Amino acid sequence: MPELSRIAGSLLRTKPVEQLASDGEHTALRRSMGLVPLISLSVGATLGTGIFVVLGEAAPLAGPAVVISFAIAALAALFSALSYAELAGAVPVSGSAYSYTYATLGEIIAWVCGWCLLLEYGVSVAAVAVGWGAYLNEFLGSTIGWRIPDALSSAPSEGGIINLPAAVVVLIAMLVLLDGIRESARVTTVTTLIKVAVLVFFVVVAVTAFDSGNLHPFAPAGVAGIGAAASMVFFSFIGFDAASTAGEEAKNPQRDLPRAIIISLGIVTLMYVLVALTAVAAVGVDEVSGSGASLATVLESVTGKGWPATILAAGAVIAIASVVLTVLYGQTRILVAMSRDGLMPRVFSRVGVKRVPTVNTLIVGGVVAVLSALVPLGELVNATNIGTLVSFGLVNIGVLVLRRTKPELPRTFRTLVPLVPALGVVMCVWLLAHLPGVTWLAFLLWSSVGLLVYFGYGRRRSLLNRTQPSGGGDDS
């Protein structure tokens, strides 16, 4: 029994909040981001991910009620966003949900959360890159009448050889990140403004063809269809937490991180609901469904193959590329935090001459480029959602734990406890229940690999193993 107690203690050891704060204060990363760049980072990582890419996949599941699916997914994201905002204001470090759970729920839970975040960020970058290729082909076809051959723009399981555009956009984003965070933030701000303008343009054009008849029957598959679509379009809200990964590069993280998270989610939700409603009402569910470039298809139906569809496709090419950039950024910063704690190899936290994690960025960019070149969109979306929902649920639980264990900790934002975190957990569980069985199988395999890595590498090399020998000192 004492041995079991010792092992359990080592798995559930928490990283002191004071140590996390010290890591943030003494970071080697450059503090150069104010509120506007943080909002741009969060909106840039979110807006476009789903509405440009996933709407065509989700519409057949729920019918016109896909608008309700977006609203439900937004509600689930809101509860988690409020919990993120509290923790980001209290523990402003780079690791996002990973760091928060390390301070509240223990090392093994933090590892599981970090492993889920690697799935969320890495796979979502690949999924968005696949969607980018579809819009690039739409743009090329409408401007010069030529498209990249299917053999070079589709995954092997879809009849192609390699999705070359998807791999290329990931590598371009990697090069931008290597140029430094200040330069990356400027690119993100500009592309986010373009993205919002393009979606407003879409709504203005599509609303001219608004036909309420296209909204009937509203929910042909009932509550089950709405739930299934909500689980899929939750992918569209992944990224609002990207601002929390910039805790060590924000000028005033305690003040600006909570604001950036909540403001960005509000902007994204408004745009998604307006775009989904006008798209379905303009042309009907059948026209929206099954296209990798569904919004461009809608405008072609409304205006013909003219300049509106070309502008939309061009804007999407820019907008989706910015999502690749910002989410890839978040992936690298989570690895920085895990590496600094000893749970990942130290190479991931080494900072180069431009004060960016150079080797980390090169490795992540290369792996994601290969993934995006070989795996189709639908499989990537669901794999991303399950990792995200698990990590969001843990963040909500972390708020409850930190309120109890550190009630005196200064917080620049306070959510309504226990109501909001509890509802956040319930919504995450409800959405998880609607994901297909094959996605759960893939997640269990991913988690099993993660636990093997933790017990084979991370647990022994954890910095807490050295500073808290009573929790497993003979492992060091």
Q: Measured between alpha carbons, how far is 401 from 273 in angstroms, rounded to an integer? A: 34
For tokens 């009402």, the residue is 281
Q: Tell me the backbone φ, ψ of residue 217, rounded to 5 degrees.
A: -70, 140
What is the pTM (predicted TM-score) of this model? 0.77
Q: What angle do CA 438, 169, 150 make, to 5 degrees?
A: 65
Task: Report pLDDT for 474.
Answer: 36
Q: Measured between alpha carbons, how far is 179 from 202 in angstroms, rounded to an integer? A: 33
Task: Report pLDDT for 132.
Answer: 81
Query: Is the backbone of residue 96 left (phi > 0), alpha (psi -120 to 50) or beta?
Result: left
Task: Report pLDDT for 25.
Answer: 60
Hey, what CATH class is 29-471 in?
A: mainly alpha
Query: Is the backbone of residue 462 left (phi > 0), alpha (psi -120 to 50) or beta?
Result: beta
Q: Measured between alpha carbons, how far is 387 from 448 in angstroms, rounded to an integer? A: 13
**Domain coordinates in residue numbering, the chain:** 29-471
Residues (pLDDT < 70) of the chain are: 1-11, 20-31, 48-50, 52-53, 93-95, 181-184, 242-248, 290-294, 305, 376-383, 466-476
Task: Report pLDDT for 10.
Answer: 63
Task: Report pLDDT for 476.
Answer: 32
Q: Measured between alpha carbons, how far is 257 from 278 in angstroms, rounded to an integer? A: 32
Both tokens of 272, joined, read 């998604």
Task: Report pLDDT for 168.
Answer: 92
Both tokens of 361, joined, read 């960025």
Task: Report pLDDT for 451.
Answer: 92
| 252-275 pLDDT per residue, tens | 777 888 888 888 888 888 898 899
